[in-house]
Structure 1
């Protein structure tokens, strides 16, 4: 696996999209989604300068964090209530906070000696039954409650829109997310609220066109996953 070539190619796509859609250079951060990949793959990208990694599976991720506590670790998978304690104790960011109860548990369980936990609220922007997340209305009603929780910093929003192949169709749902992000930003008026995590390998350019500040890329960096392993 040529990790250097993969990272260069993904970085080029991000920078080209920034330029094409008149975004500031370097305004979009890359999150390397390392779920199911071994620590050796993480180390290879880290040696090339990649610092932020996303994980979905708790036990697998805890093993990696123990070996590379110097990296920035984001939990991006579904969160069960009985898993919030180790997530609160070991991660730097949690992107998949999909309901108020999870935020409350993370707040209570974040060790006070650690920096506040950065969180994103996951929005089910396409209103899909198979996906979790706040509806836009729930988000606007509950977001201020989240900001009052101790030991957390609400950094922004995350979404996984319905998969579309046409560029304009991709942009439609992503534009809705950006509008919602702006509404919440205006409501909260806090400089900490600065992150809009949306865009993966298939819709990276559309996401950057619509204001994403963080894209989550896995396969294009690490190669295809074998979930049977």
Structure 2
């Protein structure tokens, strides 16, 4: 009904071509299907077609999907802004969180993560273009926050995430992706940040540019599912 297998093939082909053009192994890049506001039958079709990583922005919507779909091998990523009163649900039900920007939220997630579970994988959200209307820690403050997060027992700092300025021409984000790569490489050199291995950036329109600059996770919604249902 949604023709998702064909769309997955199209997207994975784009990823493979971009990776090879950048002299990278396509297997090092994870396709994260942004399933927010998408119907459950579309998610199920994507899962049955081989996708395993799904990204959600809204806690209640995501919890309903997780409970009803019961996809045993699915890896659920929370990619939206995090409210303090939602941290316990996120800590319990998700495998990844991509939008850490405050130590308070990180502490709550660590405290509310069941220690019987593996540590929650987290990424710092970087406000790479210093937009006043966008969430995220500044590049200058990223290292300090990263070091504080490494002290939290039930979190595992995996890397960085960014959403650059919305532009008409995708290539105009090349500079932002380059700066993200430089920040990523700088943090990885720190002895206390050895777990950093993830650079989450790039979407349906600009994934090629992001892959060229080292993205290890690309977050793709429209190219897989079509426009969101609202």
Q: What is the TM-score normalised by the length of structure 2?
A: 0.95
Q: CA RMSD in A?
A: 1.2
Q: Name the structure 2 match of 1:60.
A: 61
Which of 205, 226, 229 does residue 229 from structure 2 map onto? 226
- Per-residue CA deviation, residues 43-65 of structure 1 (Å, 9 max, x unaligned), is 10111110000000110100111
- Per-residue CA deviation, residues 66-123 of structure 1 (Å, 9 max, x unaligned), is 1325210000001011111100010000011121111111011101111110001100
Which runs of 5 or more residues in structure 2 are unaligned? none
Which of 133, 147, 151 does residue 150 from structure 2 map onto? 147
Aligned residues: 227
Does structure 2 conserve the Cα–Cα contact (< 8 Å) formed by 1:56 and 1:76? yes
Which runs of 5 or more residues in structure 1 are unaligned? none
Which of 78, 87, 90 does residue 81 from structure 2 map onto? 78
Q: Name the structure 2 match of 1:28.
A: 29
Change (3 A) 1:124 1:109: same
* Aligned-pair CA distance for 1:141: 2.0
Runs ≥4 residues deviating over 3 A = 165-168, 188-191
Q: Name the structure 1 match of 2:98.
A: 95
CA distance in 2, matches of 1:4, 1:203: 21
Change (3 A) 1:58 1:207: same
* Aligned-pair CA distance for 1:21: 1.4
- Per-residue CA deviation, residues 188-208 of structure 1 (Å, 9 max, x unaligned), is 455421100000011111000
CA distance in 1, matches of 2:78, 2:25: 27
CA distance in 2, matches of 1:108, 1:203: 36
Does structure 1 conserve the Cα–Cα contact (< 8 Å) formed by 2:150 and 2:192? no
Are residue 169 (structure 1) and residue 181 (structure 2) matched? Answer: no
CA distance in 1, matches of 2:140, 2:124: 13
- Per-residue CA deviation, residues 20-53 of structure 1 (Å, 9 max, x unaligned), is 1111231111000000112211110111110000
